Amino acid sequence: MGRFNCKHDWEVDRDYSVIKGVEMSSLFKCKKCKVVLTAHEATELELWKNTVGIQKWLSVGAFLIALASLTITLLD
C-alpha cells in the first residue's frame, strides 16, 4: 500500500519505442517508493488521490450542514 501513501516524485524509467507497430507508453518510477507505472497509470493514480481528497472534504461539509440543520430544527 506504499504507492497510495507516498508523495510520489516521478522520474522517467525508460522509454519504449514502437514495438511491432504498437506504441508503448513511457514508464515512470517513483524515486521514493520505487514503484514503476506506465504514464497512463501514474496519471490515473494521481488523479484518483486528488478525487478521494476532494470527496472527503465534501463529505465533511455535507455532515456539518446536516448537523447545523438538525440543530436549527431542534431549537425551533
Q: What is the pLDDT of residue 25?
A: 58
Range of the structural domain that residue 10 is part of: 2-75
User: pLDDT-based confidence at 67, cuts 50/70/90?
Assistant: very high
pTM (2 d.p.) = 0.55
Please state the domain count of the chain. Answer: 1
Q: What DSSP letter does each residue of the chain carry, written as one string?
A: -HHHHS---EEEEE---EETTEEPPPEEEETTT--EEEHHHHHHHHHHHHHHHHHHHHHHHHHHHHHHHHHHHHH-
Q: What is the pLDDT of residues 4-39, one digit of tens each?
A: 677 888 877 665 545 555 555 577 888 888 888 887
d(CA 45, CA 57): 19
